[in-house]
Amino acid sequence: NAGVTQTPKFRILKIGQSMTLQCTQDMNHNYMYWYRQDPGMGLKLIYYSVGAGITDKGEVPNGYNVSRSTTEDFPLRLELAAPSQTSVYFCASSYTGQLAYEQYFGPGTRLTVT
Amino acid sequence: AQKITQTQPGMFVQEKEAVTLDCTYDTSDQSYGLFWYKQPSSGEMIFLIYQGSYDEQNATEGRYSLNFQKARKSANLVISASQLGDSAMYFCAMRDLSGGSNYKLTFGKGTLLTVNP
């Protein structure tokens, strides 16, 4: 039972570098989300997707981009990494509809930008 | 806009005792869901319990129960018979269920629970 998988688990970037955080779910969920968790804080939504080909901004989208070409994959792209993007990134997915209340989270990616 | 407030940065409890973690929320939505997640030191987010705004009975899941007081806008988590493995960060979260396309969760800042032997 893979659920939501994220790669890599850890990454150190230099300022100005770019990278893609990978997220894959095998539960056939239409909804997928990217959150970031700063030290001592709760999670904040970066981007979300309600289905393949559809994405939208969350609370803190600046400096990030996403794409959703398939139901399974929802990669998060960081362009021109900055120290403020040092955080733990969580991908999540859920069923569609109002009855879909539980979000399933991946294990997280710990990113450090120096 | 939705807001979740967890006023207890840290809590201590003796093993086998019960503990209540506070959560208050603010929303103008009529239909919403309230969640509790556990985050152990390993970092993963573990779903614990869910309460819908129209649910008449408080939710229970094993040793977890949610003390839902709609008029006070509170959704406190009660953990009975605490175990050492309950030591973790606990997050309260909320989601709008009114039918909009954004099903995002709004999180509180969390409460760090330490269970003492």
Model pLDDT for residues A82-96, shown as the tens digit of each residue: 999 999 999 999 886
Return the pLDDT at B30.
84
For every one of its 114 residues, what pLDDT tens digit does chain A have, with 9 covering 90 and above? 679 999 999 999 999 999 999 999 999 998 999 999 998 888 999 999 989 999 999 989 999 999 999 999 999 999 999 999 999 999 999 886 555 567 889 999 999 999
| A108 neighbourhood in chain B, CB within 8 Å | 43-45
Distance, C-alpha B67 to centroid of its chain: 9
> Mean pLDDT in chain B?
92
How many CB atoms neighbour CB A64 within 10 A?
19
Q: Is the per-residue pLDDT at B78 higher than 90?
A: yes
C-alpha distance from residue A74 to each of A4, A49, A101, B44, B114 (Å): 11, 8, 20, 19, 35
| A45 neighbourhood in chain B, CB within 8 Å | 104-105
Q: How many angstroms separate the CA of residue A105 from the nearest CA in chain B?
A: 6
> Mean pLDDT in chain A?
92
Residue B112: phi and psi, rounded to 5, are: -90, 115
